[in-house]
Amino acid sequence: MASIHPDVLGQLDPTFVKFFQDTSGVHVATHKIPLEEIRKDPHKFASRWSLNAVEQGFDRVQDYQVPTKDGTTTITARAYSPDPETAGPGPYSVHVNFHGGGFVFGDLTNDAEYCLHVRDTLPLVVVDVDYRKCPDVKFGTSIEDAWSAIQWVHANSAKLNTNSASLSIGGISAGAQCASICAHLARAAGLSLRLAILAVPPAAAHYKYSSPQDSPFPSFAEYANAPMLGWERIQYFIPYVYPTDQIDELRKAVPAFWFSALEAPNCAGICDTFVVTAGCDPLRDEGEAYARKLVEAGVKVTIRRYPGVPHPFMHMTKVLQQAVDYEADCIALLKQAHGI
């Protein structure tokens, strides 16, 4: 049903091309389906890497309900805890993760394989957070939920058997946007973080663009036709996240850097950061620009571009060496950051 555009075909790893043609390429992309239809039956449209660790009975996985800032509801935080027989009794270091999905899609099944792998490799509790999504809530609510979850994890170390002084955060795509903003909020609140992992982060205000050429970053136009995230998919998200009739209200409600991390007025004192980019991703250059902004502010930054792969490559550990390398890099940096 979907094919890889000839503009980018030659730049993609042949292993990914075959995987795409055999799997995602035979289905209609979700950005071509009305959101209401997807929300009615999310399992029908779930990605190949989705895994519900609670329903499938994985050990030492527990859900907690976290109060939100507005007090109207709770969000779910799913904690993946190490095996005390091999990891010791704890308390353990803790890593808070935020999934991707353009602030519209995604849930606690997105990153379950990653969370399980990290907690089974390191004596580390991984807390995966299911923040609320647009258009059910306005832009900014997801970020507030992410920050509420970080504060809750920090305050509930006894319940989670964690060390509140050894806390890191991270996320993929929209989750990386949450993490990048929360790193600023943590600095302002005096909450110490050991590391922030920003994987394929959006760092510019895409709602301002009427075409890919409007971006100042070459990769945005160069990979406008990239598989799995291109201009067409980005356009699908924008009306749900940044409705035209609400944008002025939204801009008054939250700081400018919540829309674009590159507009952060001050990056000094941000925690150590790992910025991940994908070689064939329209967001590649803006993510790397944000990494440079952090470096210029004196932040210790590790950056790696994984060649030949599109935006969500890190989920494809069963087929892509780049995804295996990504997980290994995250684990090595978490081990170093937490002194494990």
Torsion of CA 292, 296, 299, 300, to 10 degrees: 60
Render pLDDT for 264-302 as a digit per residue (tens, 0 to 9). 999 999 999 999 999 999 999 999 999 999 999 999 999
In a domain, 103, yes or no: yes
Share of the chain above pLDDT 70, in %: 99
Strands (E), 70-151: 74-80, 92-98, 124-130
Domain of residue 167, CATH code: 3.40.50.1820
Considering its fold, how many domains does the chain have in total?
Answer: 1
What is the domain extent for residue 67?
A: 6-338
Cβ–Cβ < 8 Å for 340, 174: no
d(CA 180, CA 129): 15
CA-wise closest residue to 162 among 84, 83, 81: 81
In a domain, 145, yes or no: yes
d(CA 315, CA 111): 8
Average pLDDT value for residue range 196-207: 98
Tell me which DSSP letter residue 260 carries.
-
What average pLDDT does the structure give for the chain? Answer: 96
Q: In the numeric block, which tokens belong to residue 289?
A: 């620009």
Average pLDDT value for residue range 216-224: 98
Residue 245's pLDDT band (cuts 50, 70, 90): very high
Cβ–Cβ < 8 Å for 155, 148: no
pLDDT over 70 (residue 112) = yes
Render pLDDT for 130-167 as a digit per residue (tens, 0 to 9). 999 999 999 999 999 999 999 999 999 999 999 999 99
In a domain, 265, yes or no: yes
d(CA 138, CA 267): 26
In a domain, 192, yes or no: yes
In a domain, 298, yes or no: yes
In a domain, 203, yes or no: yes
- At 331 the pLDDT is 98
- Give the count of beta carbons closer than 10 Å to the beta carbon of residue 281: 27
* Stretch (H or E) spanning 152: helix 141-155
Q: In the numeric block, which tokens belong to residue 307?
A: 């060649």
Average pLDDT value for residue range 92-120: 97
Tell me which DSSP letter residue 274 carries.
E
Render pLDDT for 303-332 as a digit per residue (tens, 0 to 9). 999 999 999 999 999 999 999 999 999 999
In a domain, 295, yes or no: yes
d(CA 53, CA 63): 10
In a domain, 1, yes or no: no
Token pair 């590159």: residue: 262
Render pLDDT for 50-88 as a digit per residue (tens, 0 to 9). 999 999 999 999 999 999 998 889 999 999 999 999 999
Torsion of CA 239, 245, 249, 255, to 10 degrees: 30
Question: Side by side, which strands form the sheet with 124-130?
Answer: 61-67, 74-80, 124-130, 92-98, 162-172, 196-199, 273-278, 301-306
Residue 48's pLDDT band (cuts 50, 70, 90): confident
pLDDT over 60 (residue 1) = no
- At 26 the pLDDT is 57
- At 23 the pLDDT is 87
Render pLDDT for 14-23 as a digit per residue (tens, 0 to 9). 999 999 999 8
What is the pTM for the complete model shown? 0.97
- At 42 the pLDDT is 85
